[in-house]
Structure 1
Amino acid sequence: MPDSLPIQRETRPRPERDEPFLPTTGGQTDRVAQTIAPALPAPSPGTGSGAGNVAGLDFANWGDGWPPDTNGDVGPTYYIQTVNTSIGIFRKSDGVRVAAFSFDTFMSQGNLGNACDNHNFGDPVVVWDSGADRWIISDFAFVLDSRGNPTAPYYQCFAVSQSGDPVSGGWNFYALQTTDLFPDYPKLGVWPDGLYLTANMFQGNFFKNVRVWALNKAQMEAGGAASVVAFNLPASIKGVGVFTGIPSTYHAATGAPPVGRPNFISVIWSAKLARIWKFHVDWNNTANSTLTGPSNVTLANWGVAPTSVPAKSGNALDTLRERLMVQNQYTNRGSVESLWITHTVANPGNTTLASPRWYQLNVTGGTVVTSGPLQQSTWAPDSTVARWMPSLAVDKDGNMAIGYSATSSALFPAIRYAGRLSTDPANTLGQTETSLIAGTASQCCTFSDGSANNRWGDYSAMTIDPDGCTFWYTTEYYASPQPTTLAGDNWQTRIGSFKFVSCTPNPATLQGDVTDSATHNRISGATITAGANSTTTDGSGHYTLASLAPATYNVTAFAAGYITATASVTVSSGTTTTQNFALVVAPVTTSLAVDAATGTYGGTTTLSATLTAGGTGVSGKSISLSLNGNPIGSASTDDSGIATLPTASLSGIDAGTYPSGVGASFAGDAGYASSGGSNRLTIAKTEQTITFGALAARTYGDADFTVTATVSSGLAASFAATGNCTIATTTVTITG
């Protein structure tokens, strides 16, 4: 897709809606703050498996309003960044931007016939589905009224890649409509059984509740109609607001959840608790889906972050206070299941500044441990710099990195990160702060209504590479010259990557070709799965699964219209293993429609059945027919697919109705799959006549005599007498 610029609709702040009440007094002591910086620095940018420090999208060329809502995720070959309201695709190896376009240009390919086509307004999110090697990009869209307010219906727009190639592999497009309330601050979580979405629901400027959705991502990735299940969280619990839920997301490199594990929806707002709901979806019967909870995890106290923090030579910047940030990362290491989350609190040494708070929650076995986190800490290595808008991720070894913005009255907003090794003392960041880039200017100016241009964030994104070791981080900053007008207020974004020295990337690679066993033609779009890792073949039928942990995998190859193939493959460290698949065409599915049959007891009937494939009759196939489960014969289908067996004997079958009395089956062959069916058999009673033997005239006093009769059906005749005589069996006595 060619580069295309967004329409900057007007010079205005992006709308910020009222948060629920957040008390700011009482209980401010932070007993888990880390106030001393460790000696060891976090790794430098560029120490990972890709470009270490590259420019992302900016406001002047790609932006629409403030803040940029910077987000990003990483796949095997590309890094995708989203901002308000554009998308950039970057090659990991050298950081080259290979494509960029506005959301309107991108989403218009879907031709959905709604606001997603040309009224995209941002809050963008991008995620890479590591279990399927697919990309999912989303934002919201709506039409504005004459006063600039969103009007219903509102849409959450989705683009789902048709393969692992986001540049030329094609996309499927979807729109989720909401009419009752406005869905703000949407967030996505990737889970094995679905794509999970959360949003803060507003009526006008008033918060009502958090809504959660599960979307059938398997259907979306296949390009079919997608099922959706939705629930509402309570607006408040015991008077405390429930605000900004984040769904859990997993990465194959850091451990997949067990089959059937529900998605975890996490909320932190005001209560000094981590509230966790479990969202279980049943795609076979969506009515069986459930949302249970919350389980309330007790957290160490903290001071509420200030509404804004100072920035050198510029406007004070919005913190979003303790709103939970993306991602809510799930890990499964050594049978310990965890949720890693972060938000902003007050700096315990200077409450006019902000600091990141982070947690590791224990959800092993699907049980949320409520007594407290496995780890929790506030990162406050000094009391002179504000750190906020954090995002964290965890690598395959359990090492964590957390990125954030840093500023003060003497410091232009900068991008920094810190981290911890899994071997560091619990509740600490043992790898101290490192700079991704230092800012050289600040956000400026006011809008025509007199309000300050102070929105920042509204989020950032730390994610983990498929290699299991390399962290990627993106957020905003400013570069000189210092802007003095809104038109010149050009936010910048940065994309950086790094890894801890102790982490060795998953070194094994599996590759191969998928072909048709008969024609030897290469099959594109086939799905290859090895454990929790999956990808699809390219246009040449080739696949590559890189960054695999050395192990023996049960590898499957699936393509529509073919029989799934399976192979046990062992991949070794530092080597590339080749496993090709030659798929056999699956027999064509058939259907056998059986006609009902009728007849008379002891007679015959005609049996028939029609064999079809794709609605068309299949000729020349042998159909076996039966009556009440007993084989009666076979017949071959004609040009219309009809097999007929005339004069089928009904001998030995009593009169009556048999709901499945007529049976037919097709055994299948190399080209067509087997099928069968049944229908009703109705047998009527046959008519019969009774013929009496000749009988002479008799009078009273005559000797007893016998009578005879013949029944046409062959059944025995019985006799009865009335009047002045009696009969015993066939002997008659005249009694008067």
Structure 2
Amino acid sequence: MYNRISKGEKSISILLGLIFLLTLGAVFTLNAGDLKNHYKQSILPTLSSAGEFHHQKQYKQLQIEPFAPGSQYNLPKMFAPQVSGNLIGPVTDAVNYDDNAALNGASVPPDNSGAAGPSHFVLAVNVVIQWYTKDRVQQHSESLNSFFSPNNPQSSLFDPRVIYDQYNQRFVIIMVEEDDGTEISYFHLAVSRTSNPNDGWYFQKINSEVNIGGTDCWSDFPGFAVSNDALYITANMFSYGIFPLFQGTRLWILDKGLYSGGTSTVNVYDPSTEAGLGSQAFTLQPAHMFGTAPANVGTFLFSTGWDDGNGNNDLINIIRIDDPLGQSSAPTFTSQFVNPGEIHDNSAGVPDMPQNGSDTDIDCGDDRAQYAIWRDNSMVGCFTVNPSSGSEAGQATAFWFDVNTSNLSALSISQQGYIDGEDIAPSTYTSYPAVSINQDGDIAISFSASASSIYAGAYYTLHNAGDTPGTVGASNTLHAGVDYYVRTFGGGRNRWGDYSAMSVDPADDLNFWVFNQYAMQRGSAAGGEDGRWATCFGNFGTIETPTFLEANNITSTSMMLHWSGRSAEFRLMQDGVQVYAGSDTFYTASALSPSTSYTFQVYGKASGQTYYSNNNVTLQVTTAPSGSDTNPTEVISSTPTIDAGGGTT
């Protein structure tokens, strides 16, 4: 009834891929004197999980039955955090397997992507878009094909990427459309008209089909980033047909013409060849830029698993893009390699994650580049590896690194580390990481985790700027898995990922928003399988306590209060009763009684939030006696300890 790829056909496909890899270097070699020509990637180029699911669905290689919602359809949308850690407010359930299937058909993996704006959180999965207020009120839920209807998509969209462009205060989303029958490949781009997604969107459809060496190719696993004046989309390019083969990578650079309701100008580049690499880089991940970049620099691209032929086979390649919009002449591409040491067992690859309750492991993907951020001369990236030695050897393990870019001609790794998850459960596997950085240089990392004793869940951790280089804090639970997960549709792979999301809150540039998936209660059985994924998002980090509180002009019936802090809004309490809430840093307390002691407390919160800091600055002041002059003495608080997390409404 269903066409399925036989083991022999799979072997032929892999063999063709290996032959292609062996010959690819000869196609793209430049001058022999360039040492970069000797560098080859050890990673085997394959479709992303979502790309493979979409492709197999076209060829009816998956046993997808009509959707019947299970017992947990329409789960409660908000719940208290299971481990409070430094969470701010509740964790919120978003799209799950059943919601997704009801809107546009069953799909795995979800490809979790989302970003915070000043007052909203926007998320997208395969194949749904939603947005919420920061108070966790859902305002919109729609299938992606419906959302992008102005672009008239002809087949199912997949591989969502959502970012917030803090330079222009806009949400920006891209999706992939591909169809083998008609041989089409498109990016669908949407830009919010303001920082509020309810104010409408502009849309643009971009032809992403590229002919490489005489072969028409479609785009898979897009990377997406923004700088002050440009957008960057990267993709792995595969041939059409039942056995898609990797042909190369490409980069699309767009100006921001769409932001004003016009059309963005699009130019396509081959970064590997432009930068002088001897072979095509597989998965180039662009860095989302923050702040002011070095003069003329647009962004940086990174790729993983490079072998220099001298025993260093885990090199990270970084390509710097200058003059991205060609305002001086044309974009230039400069390649450098940095060496993290032996971090990955290339011969074994990334193993699947075990899970409690099932002998079917969960797919962890491979060691391709996952995510990158640049800020204040640091480029932080992450991906999944299988360490060659140490306590994590043989386990899928999230890896992160920080490259110092202050000397553009000599990039160097300033710190790096694994996220082992051993504080979650023994022998925990971690995968699909994403990173972000706040104004203090704190690095937040989201990841999936699973082990033989736990179900697959969503987690996050933090490297504070003052921490020992290469270390992270405790693993915090966004949502633990609640059941085992098996959903292959007869296709062999128990897909997860392909990525998670982490973004800094632009309202205060201090706390973070994380979006990821966990294994929910089994149900909605089809084809003998009943695994279901669910997604959730949360806010964590520091709501900073104001740093100073003083009283002056103290009379018998009034006083002037002043405070300071980096919070966007403040709450002032007088003897336990709120007397002021707003953005001002001063308040006149009046109608007081003479010779009476009053206790004042000021709390901080981020813009658009309901949740104030747990800690406060407290000041106790006694008014002057009745009929006396103004008390000339200022009463000043001591500097409080700034604490992370929590939050009260």
Q: TM-score, length-normalised on structure 1?
A: 0.57
Unaligned 5+ residue runs, structure 2? 22-40, 45-81, 212-216, 307-312, 547-564, 570-605, 609-649
Matched, 1:409 2:452: yes
Go from structure 1 to structure 2 and tell me whether the alpha carbon gap of 1:546 and 1:483 turns closer, same or farther (over 3 Å shift).
closer
Q: Which residue of 1 aligns with 2:351?
A: 307
Deviation at 1:85, TM superposition (A): 1.1
Unaligned 5+ residue runs, structure 1? 1-9, 26-41, 111-115, 146-150, 510-544, 548-736
Go from structure 1 to structure 2 and tell me whether the alpha carbon gap of 1:433 and 1:199 turns closer, same or farther (over 3 Å shift).
same
Residue type at the aligned position of 1:361: V
Q: Which residue of 1 aligns with 2:401?
A: 359
Matched, 1:215 2:216: no
Q: Which residue of 2 aligns with 1:507?
A: 567
CA RMSD across the alignment: 3.2
Q: Which residue of 2 aligns with 1:156?
A: 187
Output the CA distance in 1 between the equivalents of 2:459 and 2:263. Answer: 42
**1:261–1:366 CA contact under 8 A, matched in 2:** no
**2:362–2:494 CA contact under 8 A, matched in 1:** yes
Deviation at 1:353, TM superposition (A): 1.8
Question: Hey, which of these two has a bigger chunk of helix by percent?
Answer: 2
Equivalent position SS for 2:355: coil
Output the CA distance in 2 between the equivalents of 1:228 and 1:286. Answer: 17
Equivalent position SS for 2:259: helix
- 1:585-664 matches, within 5 Å, as none
Residue type at the aligned position of 1:162: R
Q: Which residue of 2 aligns with 1:476?
A: 517
Residue type at the aligned position of 1:190: V
Go from structure 1 to structure 2 and tell me whether the alpha carbon gap of 1:191 and 1:176 turns closer, same or farther (over 3 Å shift).
farther
Matched, 1:109 2:156: no
Which has more radius of gyration? 1
**2:119–2:607 CA contact under 8 A, matched in 1:** no
Go from structure 1 to structure 2 and tell me whether the alpha carbon gap of 1:477 and 1:47 turns closer, same or farther (over 3 Å shift).
closer
Output the CA distance in 2 between the equivalents of 1:242 and 1:442. Answer: 36
- 1:685-724 matches, within 5 Å, as none
CA distances 1:374-428 after superposition (whole Å, capped 9, x unpaired): 1011222536111111112122111122111111122110111222211111111
Matched, 1:419 2:462: yes
Q: Which residue of 1 aligns with 2:553?
A: none
CA distances 1:261-294 after superposition (whole Å, capped 9, x unpaired): 231111112441121112234546586222232x
Output the CA distance in 1 between the equivalents of 2:394 and 2:408. Answer: 39
- Residue 264 (structure 2) aligned to one of 202, 212, 226: 226
Output the CA distance in 2 between the equivalents of 1:46 and 1:54. Answer: 15
Residue type at the aligned position of 2:250: R
Q: What fraction of aligned residue pairs are identical, expressed as a percent?
A: 24
Equivalent position SS for 1:441: coil
Matched, 1:121 2:164: no
- 1:470-619 matches, within 5 Å, as 470-481=511-522, 485=526, 488-500=530-542, 506-508=566-568
**1:344–1:390 CA contact under 8 A, matched in 2:** yes
- Residue 242 (structure 1) aligned to one of 244, 267, 281: 281
Matched, 1:454 2:497: no
Equivalent position SS for 1:220: helix
Q: Which residue of 1 aligns with 2:207?
A: 176
- 1:215-294 matches, within 5 Å, as 215-217=254-256, 219-234=257-272, 242-251=281-290, 255-270=291-306, 271-281=313-323, 283=325, 288-293=330-335
Q: Which residue of 2 aligns with 1:672?
A: none
Q: Which residue of 2 aligns with 1:342?
A: 382
Question: Hey, which of these two has a bigger chunk of strand by percent?
Answer: 1
Q: Which residue of 1 aligns with 2:128?
A: 86
Q: Which residue of 1 aligns with 2:630?
A: none
Go from structure 1 to structure 2 and tell me whether the alpha carbon gap of 1:122 and 1:400 turns closer, same or farther (over 3 Å shift).
same
Go from structure 1 to structure 2 and tell me whether the alpha carbon gap of 1:143 and 1:287 turns closer, same or farther (over 3 Å shift).
farther
- Residue 478 (structure 2) aligned to one of 436, 450, 454: 436
Output the CA distance in 1 between the equivalents of 2:4 and 2:123. Answer: 23
Output the CA distance in 1 between the equivalents of 2:187 and 2:450. Answer: 33
**1:444–1:453 CA contact under 8 A, matched in 2:** no
Go from structure 1 to structure 2 and tell me whether the alpha carbon gap of 1:442 and 1:55 turns closer, same or farther (over 3 Å shift).
same
**1:241–1:269 CA contact under 8 A, matched in 2:** no
Q: Which residue of 1 aligns with 2:229?
A: 193
Go from structure 1 to structure 2 and tell me whether the alpha carbon gap of 1:197 and 1:11 turns closer, same or farther (over 3 Å shift).
farther
Q: TM-score, length-normalised on structure 2?
A: 0.65
Deviation at 1:209, TM superposition (A): 1.4
Residue type at the aligned position of 1:413: A
Count of aligned pairs: 457
CA distances 1:612-634 after superposition (whole Å, capped 9, x unpaired): xxxxxxxxxxxxxxxxxxxxxxx
Deviation at 1:303, TM superposition (A): 2.7
Q: Which residue of 2 aligns with 1:65?
A: 107
Deviation at 1:125, TM superposition (A): 0.5
Q: Which residue of 2 aligns with 1:167?
A: 198
Output the CA distance in 1 between the equivalents of 2:484 and 2:278. Answer: 39
Residue type at the aligned position of 1:507: S
**1:309–1:352 CA contact under 8 A, matched in 2:** no
Equivalent position SS for 1:89: strand
Equivalent position SS for 1:234: helix
Residue type at the aligned position of 2:380: W
Matched, 1:203 2:234: no
Go from structure 1 to structure 2 and tell me whether the alpha carbon gap of 1:238 and 1:463 turns closer, same or farther (over 3 Å shift).
closer
Deviation at 1:247, TM superposition (A): 0.7
Equivalent position SS for 2:474: strand
Output the CA distance in 1 between the equivalents of 2:303 and 2:444. Answer: 21
Equivalent position SS for 2:365: coil
**1:279–1:291 CA contact under 8 A, matched in 2:** yes
